[in-house]
Amino acid sequence: MEGREILLGVTGGIAAYKTADLCSKLVQAGARVTVVMTDAATRFVGPTTFEALTGRPVYREIFEPQEHFRGEHIGLAQRAELMVVAPASAHFLAQVAHGFAGDLLSTLTLTITCPLLVAPAMNTEMWNKPSVQRNLAQLRADGVLLAEPGSGWLSCGQVGPGRMAEPGELLERIRGLFATAADEGSAK
């Protein structure tokens, strides 16, 4: 993971607190992490948390460049080796499944050329809706990698599927993706 460039997207959901833990684990493993947050995500975890963990600015606005004056959606996409979105809300999944680019995070999914790994997190009732399942099927068909949610106690008080994958599980999945990429590169 040393020196790998990871774009870490955070959408609105209580599971965003787990993403801070994932971010910390990635940085400790030597990855260079850039965080992009939706406005809804900032209601759960503040950008300052991720800035402190990464030593980099957090990106939120598509039309207010901080670093890439051709557009953050171009510059950030070009340097990313992997994009991870955790938690991935039902809204975000729908945006990506249908190619909507309404904010910086969803726009990045259209400009990246690296793999995209999403870790959905939502209420059980939302997870079970046919529309959400159709969007997930479309994402799989489009080559998006999915870190399936677990089942258990949810912040809404329900017990069932919808818990975001644990940070340690996501870290191992990310390590595996980089190891597979390295193996494929050495086989060529």
C-alpha span between 43 and 36 (Å, rounded):
14
Residue 186, pLDDT score:
52
Q: Which residues contact 44 (CB under 8 A, 6 or more apart)?
A: 12, 13, 14, 16, 17
Residue 54, pLDDT score:
98
pLDDT at 142 over 70: yes
- Six token digits for residue 98: 């249908």
Is the CATH number of domain 5-187 3.40.50.1950? yes
CA distances from 20 to 15, 47, 63, 115, 164 (A): 9, 10, 25, 21, 13
Residue 23, pLDDT score:
98
- Six token digits for residue 106: 């969803």
Residue 151, pLDDT score:
74
- State pLDDT tens for residues 19-46: 999 999 999 999 999 999 999 999 999 9
pLDDT at 10 over 60: yes
Q: Phi and psi at residue 101, in whole multiples of 5°?
A: -130, 70
Instruction: Please identify which residue in the block is written with the tokens 């259209």.
Output: 110
SS3 of residue 159 by DSSP = strand
- State pLDDT tens for residues 105-126: 999 999 999 999 999 999 888 8
- State pLDDT tens for residues 40-94: 999 999 999 999 999 999 999 776 656 655 656 677 888 999 999 999 999 999 9
Of the pLDDT bands very low, low, confident and very high (cuts 50, 70, 90), residue 155 is confident
Q: What is the mean pLDDT of residues 156-173?
A: 87
C-alpha span between 62 and 33 (Å, rounded):
19
Catalytic residue numbers read 156
